[in-house]
Chains A and B, each alone.
Chain A
């Protein structure tokens, strides 16, 4: 019995905590992705690059001497107009074709290629790593965990709760959900649909950027970092249901725990394929995911 408790404490608990800190990253990315899809029907293949953009912006701002906390607020604010402009100037161009899915997928795919090379151009290919704003470790369940990671989990919870509140409990959120449910009806009711679109895209992108800043001290910053989480984020979005916030959260927690705990039993090389395999199964047998869409869920 005590051996079981010990393994719970020293083997499982750390894995669960690790999965949670990874989960924060993935959930923040997935939230942005799913909101963008839920409202705009746009698959943003460049989402990972916006995550990277946030990290790079954050690192640059930190170098000017600003405190991490100010940078944390500043970066999403800067990302908002970037996202807004991207949506109005680029995505709207292909938006009105019947096959906006594939066209926007291709367009954002092109954006991702360009962005990644732009990062290399401006910042060079070397890795950068900002200092963690909270140093030291805390004891939890008899194990030492870096305090910053615990902070990350708390912050992640706050952000997710904030997003939920905005989408489901505010008038702004109601407008967004209405536009998602029925664009034309909302427009005829006076909702500025085009601005809502651009604003939602901006919001999703800002979330990604925020994730980038938060995680830069943990995972470091380099031009191909956009690819770090993108497969995982897409898996989460699909398993949770494209457009569902609840889905992104639940699936995010679930899949990151699967990945963390599975590495105890199978070679870690296969945990990414395992998560992907789950995504494939969901796509085959329950394509709407666990929870369905933003407009309808």
Chain B
């Protein structure tokens, strides 16, 4: 038994080390390798799935068009299990073993921040297409981290603008999961809304993974709001909305919330209770321009489901990198970084600008409503109006 163990250990070591030598042989003339560290298992796996689908579509298109600067592009996937501890291991593996030139795919902000640190230590760049915590391009910004998707602040502005126009002076109740992200999204929206004349008359924070929200319904009823905002996500939203409907609380109330509250992952489970829900997003398949129409058609053909914001932004990130490398005429980190700052590139959402001050993409934002299971656009806010001032002070 012990000899078996010793042999096993020795075998594993040797296998690992052999694996270490092989990729080191690949030099700079081979294909361009881009690492993708994304949750392929676990609660966030559906998001990871959309990320993968978006990236794959862009990959096929780019390679069909001759690649980036004549080099083919390769995507290397690793499962981060939505755990920063695993994410950094995999990111390191991709940077040091597989020698990727660029990395993307992280979903939760903890992973993005941790992988950002790894990127700094390895002098490489990463971009996120999902994480929307303001801190990533705010007080925790990093010179090696870029964000291609809209952040929470932009989403709040889009939603608040619509709300102020559609229901001026309405009374608002806010509910969020009781952790950093939940609290900060509620706070950000409350700010944006009250600045525009909406009256916040109650807020409440329920533990993450709450099974039963009915204990809060007394409080919500007492507040008699016209509008109800939630920043729950995944199963929490399923339970919240079902239980609100069960108790009849959602009658005659406009339900709104953060963009991650209702997505392809849970919309089926929420069913008809999702009808009428309004949120602020940077993407919806309905955006009416030729790139998006083509993108949606190609995406549906390849994957049999519609793209969501994660799929679209992940599709866009490959083109972002392509544009930067072509502008810099190199894959060297410092040159690409300079090229990325201030870069304008075309995406299904139209033209986006990467702001140099905080590495945050500026884009037009929309308020969308769920009608018959689809997200329909009901209002739009211009890119530079939606984005606030930069709060990043590191450079």
Q: Check whether chain A touches chain B (CB < 8 angstroms).
A: yes
Give the interface of A toward B (CB within 8 A): 10-11, 14-15, 18, 21-22, 120, 124-129, 131-132, 137, 144-146, 148-149, 217-220, 222, 224, 228-229, 260, 263-264, 267-269, 271-272
* Residue in contact with B246 in the complex, picked from A126, A146, A222, A224, CB distance below 8 Å: A146
Q: Is the CB of A125 within 8 A of B218?
A: no
Q: Is the CB of B42 within 8 A of A125?
A: yes
Determine the main DSSP class of B at the interface with A. helix
Q: Is the CB of B235 within 8 A of A269?
A: no
Determine the main DSSP class of A at the interface with B. helix
* Residue in contact with A120 in the complex, picked from B41, B215, B235, CB distance below 8 Å: B41
Interface residues of B in 186-239 (CB under 8 A from A): 205-207, 209-212, 214-218, 222, 234-235, 238-239
- How many contacts A-B (CB < 8 Å)? 94
Q: Is the CB of B246 within 8 A of A137?
A: yes
- Beyond the given pairs A137-B248, A222-B43, 11 more chain A to chain B contacts, judged by CB atoms under 8 angstroms and listed by A's residue number, are A10-B222, A14-B217, A15-B218, A21-B214, A120-B45, A124-B46, A125-B41, A145-B247, A217-B242, A224-B43, A229-B211
* Residue in contact with B235 in the complex, picked from A132, A144, A220, CB distance below 8 Å: A220
Known: A149-B246, A220-B242, A272-B207. A127 touches B266 (CB 8 A): yes
Q: Is the CB of A11 within 8 A of B218?
A: yes
Give the complex CA separation of A219 and B243 in angstroms. 9
Give the complex CA separation of A125 and B243 in angstroms. 22
- Nearest first, the 4 A-B pairs at minimum CB distance are A146-B246, A129-B269, A127-B269, A125-B45
Q: Is the CB of A127 within 8 A of B42?
A: no
Q: Is the CB of B209 within 8 A of A228?
A: yes
Known: A137-B248, A149-B246, A268-B178. A125 touches B211 (CB 8 A): no
Chain A, residue nearest B272 (CB): A131
Chain B: interface residue total (CB-CB under 8 A): 35
Query: B210 — which chain A residues lie within 8 A by C-beta?
Result: 268
A210 vs chain B, min Cβ distance (A): 18
Give the complex CA separation of A153 and B65 in angstroms. 63
* Residue in contact with A18 in the complex, picked from B45, B215, B266, B269, CB distance below 8 Å: B215
Give the complex CA separation of A219 and B209 in angstroms. 11
User: Does B379 interact with chain A (Cβ within 8 Å)?
Assistant: no
Give the complex CA separation of A86 and B149 in angstroms. 48
User: Does B168 interact with chain A (Cβ within 8 Å)?
Assistant: no
Query: B266 — which chain A residues lie within 8 A by C-beta?
Result: 126-127
Chain A, residue nearest B47 (CB): A125
Q: Is the CB of A129 within 8 A of B246?
A: no
Q: Is the CB of B41 within 8 A of A126?
A: no
Count chain B CB atoms within 10 A of each CB in A10, A11, A125, A271 and give the residue with the most.
A125
